[in-house]
A and B are shown apart, each in its own frame.
Chain A
Amino acid sequence: MRNGSLRKKTKWEWSGYIFILPWLCGFFLLTLFPMLRSLYYSFTNYNLMDSPHWAGLDNYIKIFTNDSTFRQSLTITLRFVAFAVPVKLVSALLVAMLLKKNVRGISVYRTLLYLPTLIGSSVASAILWRHIWGASGLINQFLNLFGVAGKSWISTPGTALMTLIVQGIWQFGSSMVIFLSALKQVPEDLYEASEIDGASKIRQFFAITLPMISPIIQFNLILQMIGAFQMFTQALIITKGGPVHMTFVYSLYLYETAFTRFNLGYASALAWILLMLITLITVAIFAISRRVVFYETEVEA
């Protein structure tokens, strides 16, 4: 928009800073400053009682070479992210595709499918889940109908994480709503034109639908991925991190290190590793999407 003839000279309005002042204060005091503090703490030993004392790279060295809990919680979290996020997004997209064609009663379907998301990651939904997958819960009652003897899914090491993944997928409603509106914005004439050219439905999906909504897929993917990495309430209430640490996700480990053992330096190092990991994955997603994602118009920043 730098059009010289129209706008000869940009007239800055410093008063803008009055408007963003609250956020600016918040950014410096509650985001940037704490981030730098946590970077500093990650190189110290600190337990809230004594002042932090410098430990160099000790925390990081210990985490990477001599901390089996770290390795386990990271593996579990990665497994959770790798299963829950793609399945959630793919099912959200598929259902949105079905609902796109102005199906009658769409608002009823949409509301019903949104219901689990509405209950959200609350303590209440975690309590519900804990009962459903328990020894005498809904799942086993259902299996009993077919004569299959159930087990306590939550306290079996092999299936505990699966119950959490299923809950994550169960809440695919918000992604679906976003996909649905994205699909509705794809110009109809593109489909009509390709139909005349004799393109099949599948070809249309890959040649038109997918490229047109790719920015939204990217947006959803990144936000869901970050959210999944931070999963906390579910693991705390449904499985309590157990059995035998099989659902001891990263944020639970971080929480316990920081606030039950008060190893604040060590916890800060864990937090920075998580940040680096999330940044790395985000950058990778952006790098891949630079080739794949299709932007219709450049967006004004």
Chain B
Amino acid sequence: MKQREKETEFIKTIEQHQNILHKICSVYCCSQDDKKDLYQEMTLQLWKAYPSFQGRSAFSTWMYRVALNTAITISRKNQVQLKPEDTQLRIVKEMETLPDLSEDIRILYQAINRLNKIERAIILLWLEEKSYDEISEITGLTIKNVGVKLVRIKKKLAILIEKLS
């Protein structure tokens, strides 16, 4: 397949699955600028990794893997690091990135934003109804470990939601 055709095919596929990237951005970014930067970086990394996609797993699973790896490993030095005490500023910034969502989902997003990078990835995959097998495939954790972590994360998230509500 020629490079041009490959590029067109890739862009069309990404356009169809762009909701995955939007969700990851909302979970990992606190401002619109960060969100745009991350979206760009994830798209670029997906394009670079595209030749390695052999269709062994679902495209969405592969896409989650590359995009989450990018979101987790990227070092954004210029990103504003919000301290825990900057709650008000954090909420204002989060509001920028979250459109007209229901109060429940808004709080869920805010709670997820308070988890660490790995916990965010695991809970996002769980919310997306990925199986333990798929979560294990994406993260490299054992299936048993995925289960243990999910139980802990859900408990932590429940406490955070309660506080934020």
Do A and B interact with each other, yes or no? no
